[in-house]
Amino acid sequence: MPASISVQIPATLRFECGGTSQLTVSASTVGQALLQLEQNHPAVYRSVCDETGAVRRHVHLFVNNDLLKGDNSFDTPLNSGDTLYIMPAVSGG
């Protein structure tokens, strides 16, 4: 059964979803959560994932406090109350 989870939207992407800082989706895995973003907020999804469906190089995803790494990160299970954080990389000099 899909879990109700929060997706935290960084300030740089909020204009893509009406200015909201948090979205709620029902998903059992990170991959399912991203598919819901693709369906309901395609501009946010395109900022997170490239045309092949992979997470963009400059974006990091966290479930709660855990950084997702590797090809199997889309299979990461989600539980009700979890938070998926989208974190664009920041650089400067």
Span 58-85, pLDDT tens digits: 999 999 999 998 878 999 999 999 999 9
Q: Which residues contact 50 (CB under 8 A, 6 or more apart)?
A: 56
Is 55 within the bounds of a domain?
yes
Average pLDDT over residues 7-16: 94
Q: Is the pLDDT of residue 90 over 80?
A: no
Q: Is the pLDDT of residue 92 over 70?
A: no
Is 93 within the bounds of a domain?
no
**Residue 13 maps to which CATH number?**
3.10.20.30
Domain that holds residue 28: 3-88
Mean model confidence pLDDT for the chain: 93
Average pLDDT over residues 35-42: 96
What is the count of structural domains for the chain?
1
pLDDT at 72: 85
Is 62 within the bounds of a domain?
yes
- Residue 47 CB neighbours (<10 A): 20
